[in-house]
């Protein structure tokens, strides 16, 4: 696999190669742009279509194209290709197990300056309620490029939501085919910090800062949030004293909730502390670091909170 330094390259260069080999791969863009799309349009005009700013129809058309034996990739801004067309995904795609992969760009506060209409802070909460939908949340360029292949090979409904980065250099160094769904990026005996996507980088910062204060924290990256690799989670959680979850996502229904549900289902009793976005609308304008600090999900704030929590 090639090395990438840009998320769009990581996803769309690989998709381009897949589509060149398989004429039954079709890409629909909900008027979402990337420079590589010109190459798709020029070199495979019967496989790439900009269907306009109509995400509900994009999903229904994707289901129809899948009905004709195609694997369809639908590209758009995360909010609009998930929330706006939730029912089309649920009924037209997932309920009939159509091979459609949603490529959802910009998670959490990625579009921080664009205001609350563009904040994608509940994608995991809503999308994981759809049966049969595989959900990936890559934490590196390399991982994203592998996930495109997994989505293609899976031949079922799936969603990859991706960020432009920057991702943690440590995550970029990790190699593998990323088929396991979760990876222990850092070992630690005092507390296990769980995160996903771009926030794995923040979790690693937290772990490094905690180390300076004598706290040995591990970091677990759950890059496939549905279905969870329950076997791996059980193995890791059984050796874990305390759990922290960090996400740039609503605390309602997000990664922390997912872990709590898993603990309940598994009968494991572990103290857990969840960091995420409170149940409110952010009207403040600013970049994602600024908005994270307002919600208390920046590394420095999380470090202080964890230290206080561990003293209890």
Residue of 5, 17, 38, 64 that binds other proteins (CB under 8 A): 64
With binding defined as CB under 8 A, does residue 92 bind other proteins? yes
In order of 23, 96, 138, 146, 186, the CA distances from 134 in angstroms are 23, 14, 13, 14, 25
Question: How many angstroms separate the CA atoms of 50 and 75, rounded?
Answer: 9
Nearer to other proteins, 72 or 124 (CB): 72
- Kindly tell me which of 61 and 102 has the beta carbon lying closer to other proteins: 61
Q: Which of residues 108-167 bind other proteins (CB under 8 A)?
A: none
The strand ranges marked E within the chain are 25-29, 48-50, 71-77, 100-105, 134-136, 158-162, 182-186, 191-195, 217-222, 224-226, 243-250, 272-277
**Please, which residues bridge with residue 232 across strands?**
none
Cis peptide bond upstream of 191, omega within 30: no
Q: Least distance (Å) from other proteins to the CB of residue 241?
A: 47
Residue numbers 21-50 binding other proteins by CB under 8 A: 46
| Closer by beta carbon to other proteins, 129 or else 187 | 129
51 touches other proteins by CB under 8 A = yes
Whole-angstrom Cα distance, residue 189 to residue 215?
9
**Shortest CB 270 distance to other proteins, Å:** 40
Question: Which of residues 65 and 160 has its CB atom nearest to other proteins in the complex?
Answer: 65
Q: Considering the rule CB under 8 A, would residue 57 count as an interface residue with other proteins?
A: yes
Q: Which is nearer to other proteins, 70 or 273 (CB)?
A: 70
Burial track 258-286 (b if 16+ CB lie within 10 A, e otherwise): bbeeebeeeeeeeebbbbbbeeeebeeee
Q: Compute the least distance from the CB of residue 54 to other proteins, in Å.
A: 4
| Strand, coil or helix: 71 | strand
| Residue 67 sits in the site that holds other proteins (CB under 8 A) | yes
CB of 160 to other proteins, least distance (A): 21
Question: 212 burial class (0-12, 13-18, 19+ CB within 10 angstroms)?
Answer: exposed
List the one residue from 17, 87, 216, 241 that touches other proteins (CB under 8 A).
Answer: 87
CB of 64 to other proteins, least distance (A): 2
Q: Is 83 in the site for other proteins (CB under 8 A)?
A: no
What is the contact surface with other proteins in residues (CB under 8 A)? 46, 51-52, 54, 56-57, 59-70, 87-88, 91-92, 95-96
């Amino acid at each position: 696999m090639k090395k990438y330094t840009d998320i769009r390259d990581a996803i769309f260069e690989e998709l381009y190669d897949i589509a060149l080999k398989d004429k039954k791969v079709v890409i629909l863009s909900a008027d979402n742009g990337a420079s590589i799309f010109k190459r798709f349009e020029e070199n495979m005009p019967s496989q790439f279509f900009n269907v306009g700013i109509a995400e509900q129809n994009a999903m229904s058309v994707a289901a129809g194209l899948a009905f004709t034996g195609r694997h369809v990739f639908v590209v758009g801004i995360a909010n609009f290709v998930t929330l706006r067309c939730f029912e089309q995904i649920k009924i037209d795609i997932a309920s009939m197990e159509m091979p459609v992969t949603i490529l959802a760009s910009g998670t959490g506060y990625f579009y921080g300056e664009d205001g609350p209409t563009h904040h994608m802070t509940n994608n995991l909460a809503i999308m994981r309620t759809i049966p049969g939908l595989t959900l990936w949340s890559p934490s590196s360029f390399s991982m994203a490029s592998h996930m495109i292949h997994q989505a293609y090979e899976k031949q079922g409904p799936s969603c990859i939501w991706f960020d432009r980065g920057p991702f943690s250099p440590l995550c970029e160094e990790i190699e593998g085919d990323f088929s396991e769904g979760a990876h222990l990026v850092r070992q630690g005996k005092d507390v296990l910090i769980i995160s996903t996507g771009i926030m794995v980088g923040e979790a690693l910062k937290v772990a490094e800062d905690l180390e300076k204060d004598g706290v040995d924290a591990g970091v677990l990256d759950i890059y496939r949030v549905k279905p969870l690799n329950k076997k791996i989670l059980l193995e890791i959680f059984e050796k874990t004293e305390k759990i922290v979850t960090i996400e740039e996502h609503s605390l309602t229904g997000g990664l922390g909730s997912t872990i709590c549900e898993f603990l309940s289902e598994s009968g494991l009793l572990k103290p857990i502390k969840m960091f995420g976005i409170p149940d409110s609308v952010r009207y403040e304008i600013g970049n994602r670091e600024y908005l994270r600090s307002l919600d208390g999900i920046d590394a420095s704030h999380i470090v202080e909170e964890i230290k206080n929590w561990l003293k209890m």
